[in-house]
Structure 1
Amino acid sequence: MASEVGAKAPWLTIIGIGDNGLDSLTPLARTLFDAAQTIIAPERVLARIDCGTRETIPWTFGIKETIAFVLARRGTPVTILATGDPMFYGVGATLMRDLDKAEMRVIPSPSAFSLAASRLGWALQDVAMISLHGRSVHGLASHVQPGNRILALTSSGRTVVEAAQILSARGFGRSEMHVLEHIGGPDERIKILRADRIAADKPDFADFNTLAIACEAQPGAVLLPSVPGLPDEAFEHDGQLTKREVRAVTLARLGPVPGGLMWDVGAGCGSIGIEWIRSARGAKAIAIEASEARRTMMAHNALTLGAPGLDIIAGTAPDALADLAMPDAVFIGGGISHDGVFEVAWDALKPSGRMVANAVTVEGEARLFALQAVHGGELIRMQVSRAEPVGRYLGWKPMMPVTLWSVTKGLDA
């Protein structure tokens, strides 16, 4: 269908519009708007412009419903008015997943990020640009680092308060928060407050706002770097945790990549999947865990550590692996000696995908030796000792040795 439509003129036009309405449109965008037959736009946009007698549809439904509505009119001229740049966390980028690019014509306006940077004097290449619009506000957490600057799209004024609470809980209450309301429009206003003040007072903000944060850590702040190997105490767990030294090596061999999907089989408290997500832009992880208590801990860890998108699956491998999306990497942290776990995961792994399996039992280690003999790869045995008090002195306390097997799936496997 896409190839047939692709030979024709675009039927879907997406025009970026600012808070100052039609005055924000370029001559080309204005020409396309004037020629539009059906216009879909947010109610606040439609309230400020004159669409004449043309069909207008207020955008009051969710993004999934919007996509379904637009696709149902495929081939019929439709114009969408979207805030700012439709290809930057916007409806254009979303629809491009379902449509051929030849079906769409996109005319952007300056994004909220560009407008905010121009007001604040921030260089965009030095800023983390994220969206909290229609997403969990806990996605902010992985970007909270000393000296970091963050620009965030929000869902409402309440998002600002929730972000301030996250910053304060992490020891970043001194951070300066700029709330840019109705930026680019006649009602534009910028409010500047410290995060701890917002968290305590919970003031009201306009729902149409962009949030800018200058992160400042206070003494005792919890620092959680983006490199693998977060402190063990950063996770809520019941002892079933891949320790940070082993975790760092495991993640290095899994090789997180932008947009990559990993399966975490026998996920425990979710440490591997969470750190995979934190390590690369757009990385995704599916965590499979049988224990309800551990899944609850995992969900908590995913929120507090900035990986709210972690997909948690209840069940036991290999049965729970059926019908999951093909992964770019697989980590088997538990159950490698169980029948069918490796085979199902290996069959699903994409060509050139990476698999890492860890074992602490003799039986698990024997299974890794057998798999390495057939599939190749690399075996490593790690034993970490940590210095702990022995009376008035320090002594080395060894942890259980861990055997790691890492292998890359061949193109012809």
Structure 2
Amino acid sequence: MTAREPVVVVGLGADGWEGLSASAQRVVRGAAVLMGSSRQLDLIPRTEGSSADRIAWPTPMLPALPGLFDAQSGRRVCVLASGDPMFHGIGATLVRVLGADNLRVISHPSSIALASARMGWATADTELVSLVNRDAATILPSVTAGARLLVLSNGRATPGEVAEILTTAGFGRSVITVLGQLGGAQESRTVARADEWDIDAADVDPLNVLAVECVAVECVVSGAPHRLTRVPGLPDAAYSGDGQMTKQEIRALTLCALAPAPGEHLWDVGGGSGTIAIEWMRTHPRCTATSFEQAASRISQIEGNARALGVPNLDVLGRAPESFAEAARTPDAIFIGGGVTQPGMLDACWERLEVGGRLVANAVTAESEALLLEWFTRFGGTLRRLQIQRAEPLGTFNVWRPQLPVVQWSVTKTEASGGPDANHTEENAQ
């Protein structure tokens, strides 16, 4: 990048120029160039920035940014942002483009800080959900009885969409407060229950934040109430489809072996109903996944389950390993739930896994068990044999019905185990 004066990013509230501190106003007055959205530029009176060139963000914005700032090199550039520029704002984007040393940020209270103040909620005790440019179903993993959510809206339609989703999920008695134009002269407040929402989207301010107090009516699957939390091991009945899935207890153990961490990406090979990828993504908003499934009918059921359980951004691709090249991200972990014995499958997964990545494979047939034993002998890790028994009625009594035993191999790829000729290591003894 060409050398330049530090770019100053100034956060603006809905109250515009009047809400800026004296120091922020001085920066704006002294700028040779003002950049921002058309709405933000209009918040600065011409009398206060009359000598500055005004540049509205182009569309698309991101690819144009480096050239835009290079063209203004040597001039005092002030970027106008909404609220706190580092809170889901342009500030974080500019750090990636220009570098932190080339940026100075003057923050304004964020919309979430203002919403917490209006609601009287402790910010530390509320969960933030961003629906900006996201499907409203993304809210679902955060919806539990008694939770307080602050939701960054995507516009006028978001409150109605959230109300419908909450009602369908059994949280129709939840109270939704729509806070519009926070901090501005036109600040508004609308309150209604989710199952009583009848407000037309045209009457909702497009610049809004939702405060949601979650109240459960009853979450029912197959007649039995249940709770859907972020903890792996959701009820089998929470999923629709043909029943091709990793069952609840084995699923919970499998997710523990995969050990998802925020920001990590999973490849779920042989997706079935999508259970492993879905529950991986539910553990944290920044966890992502790609599911590979060859059957078109199952691809549809994975996508349906993902949306119903609040992770509509799950990426679903076709047959593995042929579709591996189409994946947008390399995996931090790989789960093989189907096709273990397919020629070349384990080799292809192992090759795609970087050093430090984890692989977990489940097997239920003698042939697939034998293959996992061979790989365990070569690469180490942990080999387990798991079997679950569930109590089921037999006449007036109950008996234990065993499910198929599952052999599970889990391993972390190391430099020592990075090739097909790796020797048996001390990991095998673990």
Q: TM-score range by the shorter chain?
A: over 0.9
Equivalent in the alignment of 2:223: none
Matches within 5 A, 1:201-212: 202=200, 204-212=203-211
Equivalent in the alignment of 2:62: 67
* 3-state DSSP of counterpart to 1:218: coil
Alignment partner for residue 321 of structure 1, among 319, 324, 338? 324
Count of aligned pairs? 403
Q: State whether residues 136 and 158 of structure 2, in contact with CA within 8 Å, keep that contact through their aligned partners in structure 1.
A: yes
- Segments of 5+ residues of structure 2 without an aligned counterpart are 221-225, 419-430
* 3-state DSSP of counterpart to 1:73: helix
C-alpha distance in structure 1 between counterparts of 2:233 and 2:309, whole Å: 13
The alpha-carbon deviation at position 53 of structure 1 amounts to 5.2
Q: State whether residues 151 and 211 of structure 1, in contact with CA within 8 Å, keep that contact through their aligned partners in structure 2.
A: yes
Equivalent in the alignment of 1:154: 153
C-alpha distance in structure 2 between counterparts of 1:298 and 1:95, whole Å: 36
Equivalent in the alignment of 2:30: 35
Equivalent in the alignment of 2:237: 233
* 3-state DSSP of counterpart to 1:45: helix
Closer, same or farther in 2 for the Cα pair 1:107/1:381, shift >3 Å? same
C-alpha distance in structure 2 between counterparts of 1:13 and 1:289, whole Å: 48
Closer, same or farther in 2 for the Cα pair 1:99/1:326, shift >3 Å? farther
1:93 correspondence with 2:92: yes
Q: Which amino acid aligns with 1:118?
A: A
Equivalent in the alignment of 2:386: 382
**Which has the greater radius of gyration?**
2
Matches within 5 A, 1:141-180: 141-180=140-179
Closer, same or farther in 2 for the Cα pair 1:271/1:336, shift >3 Å? same
Equivalent in the alignment of 2:423: none
C-alpha distance in structure 2 between counterparts of 1:99 and 1:408, whole Å: 36
C-alpha distance in structure 2 between counterparts of 1:220 and 1:304, whole Å: 13
C-alpha distance in structure 1 between counterparts of 2:330 and 2:346, whole Å: 14
Q: State whether residues 32 and 51 of structure 2, in contact with CA within 8 Å, keep that contact through their aligned partners in structure 1.
A: no
Q: Which amino acid aligns with 2:395?
A: G
Equivalent in the alignment of 1:17: 12
The alpha-carbon deviation at position 219 of structure 1 amounts to 3.8
Equivalent in the alignment of 2:404: 400
1:138 correspondence with 2:133: no
C-alpha distance in structure 1 between counterparts of 2:68 and 2:164, whole Å: 43
The alpha-carbon deviation at position 334 of structure 1 amounts to 1.0
Q: State whether residues 147 and 213 of structure 2, in contact with CA within 8 Å, keep that contact through their aligned partners in structure 1.
A: yes
Q: Which 10-residue stretch deviates more, 403-412 or 95-104?
A: 95-104
* 3-state DSSP of counterpart to 1:150: strand
C-alpha distance in structure 2 between counterparts of 1:234 and 1:159, whole Å: 25
The alpha-carbon deviation at position 60 of structure 1 amounts to 7.1
* 3-state DSSP of counterpart to 2:253: helix
C-alpha distance in structure 1 between counterparts of 2:84 and 2:394, whole Å: 61
Q: State whether residues 43 and 60 of structure 1, in contact with CA within 8 Å, keep that contact through their aligned partners in structure 2.
A: no
**1:183-205 C-alpha deviation (Å, 9 max, x unpaired):** 0000011111111111x555631
Q: Percent identity?
A: 40
* 3-state DSSP of counterpart to 1:233: helix
C-alpha distance in structure 2 between counterparts of 1:350 and 1:52, whole Å: 55
RMSD between superposed Cα atoms in Å:
1.9
Q: Which amino acid aligns with 2:23?
A: L
Return the TM-score normalized by structure 1: 0.92
**1:15-49 C-alpha deviation (Å, 9 max, x unpaired):** 21000001222233222212233323333333332
Closer, same or farther in 2 for the Cα pair 1:117/1:201, shift >3 Å? closer
1:300 correspondence with 2:321: no
Q: State whether residues 9 and 102 of structure 1, in contact with CA within 8 Å, keep that contact through their aligned partners in structure 2.
A: no
Equivalent in the alignment of 1:111: 110
The alpha-carbon deviation at position 56 of structure 1 amounts to 2.4
C-alpha distance in structure 2 between counterparts of 1:57 and 1:307, whole Å: 37
C-alpha distance in structure 2 between counterparts of 1:220 and 1:385, whole Å: 26
* 3-state DSSP of counterpart to 2:255: helix
Matches within 5 A, 1:42-53: 42-50=37-45, 51-52=49-50
Q: Which 10-residue stretch deviates more, 106-115 or 30-39?
A: 30-39
The alpha-carbon deviation at position 229 of structure 1 amounts to 0.3
